[in-house]
A = this chain, B = another copy of it.
Amino acid sequence: MARNEARRIALADAGVAVLAREGSRGLTHRAVDAEADVPTGTTSNYFRSRDALIQGIFDRIGQRLAPTEEDLAARSGIPPNRTLFAAYIRDIVRRLLENREVTLALYELRLAAVRQPNLAAPLAAWQRAGFEADITFNEAAGLPGGRREIALLHYAIEGLVFDRLTSSIDPETSTDEIVDDFVSALILV
């Protein structure tokens, strides 16, 4: 009998919600049970330890943030047009901010990974893969900016998103504007 994957996913999603809402401290088996509205003990059955639960949540975040088919299609259809590239980055940021839950949970996980090597390894690998994919895409699209420029944009966007999701130093300015500034300053030299 196959494992009940649907329930496992539901529990991981509940874990993401708890992690974003309550933080690492509030992430307990019982809290996930309550969030998923299942009997106490269910999460313990699926994720035998707290570490296993965190791993499961990370795997789920990877799935939820992975580009969809349409995204990939849109990517491959993009002509090497600078305006469209900026719009594309704006879109990424918008989605990160809209999926506040997932993004915040991811920041929690990144901090947790600092002191949890068995989480750090897959997390680092996942991040690198995303970074390399971005470089490949950029080259394929014939856009200016190589590894170095893409890295700069990565750092900048991450700092911006962190600022926007936590206490912001300048909430008045529109996020799109800032993204455009970053793209034109860092990539479209």
Which A residues contact B (CB, under 8 angstroms)? 21-25, 27, 104, 107-108, 110-115, 120, 123-124, 127-128, 131, 147-148, 151-152, 154-160, 162-163, 165-170, 173, 178, 181-182, 185-186, 189
CB distance from A65 to the nearest CB of B (A): 15
B124–A185 CB distance below 8 A: no
Query: Which single residue of chain B is at the shortest CB-CB distance from A127?
Result: B169
Query: Which single residue of chain B is at the shortest CB-CB distance from A116?
Result: B23
Query: Which single residue of chain B is at the shortest CB-CB distance from A167?
Result: B124
B178–A151 CB distance below 8 A: yes
A157–B159 CB distance below 8 A: yes
For A111, list chain B residues within 8 Å (CB). Answer: 23, 104, 107-108, 111, 166
Contact pick for A110, options B151, B166, B185, CB 8 Å: B166
> With contacts A151-B178, A159-B157 known, is A165 near B104, CB below 8 A?
no
Q: Which of A21, A163, A166 has the most CB of B within 10 A?
A: A166
Copies in the complex: 2
Query: Which single residue of chain B is at the shortest CB-CB distance from A161?
Result: B159
Q: Which of A24, A123, A165 has the most CB of B within 10 A?
A: A24
Nearest 9 CB-CB pairings of A with B:
A159-B159, A158-B159, A124-B167, A155-B159, A156-B156, A155-B160, A131-B169, A110-B166, A25-B25
B127–A154 CB distance below 8 A: no
Contact pick for A127, options B127, B167, B173, B189, CB 8 Å: B167
Query: Which single residue of chain B is at the shortest CB-CB distance from A187?
Result: B185
B159–A114 CB distance below 8 A: no
16 A-B pairs whose Cβ atoms sit less than 8 Å apart in the complex: A23-B114, A23-B115, A24-B25, A25-B27, A111-B166, A114-B165, A123-B167, A148-B173, A152-B156, A152-B178, A152-B181, A155-B156, A155-B160, A155-B182, A156-B159, A158-B163
Query: Which single residue of chain B is at the shortest CB-CB distance from A24?
Result: B25
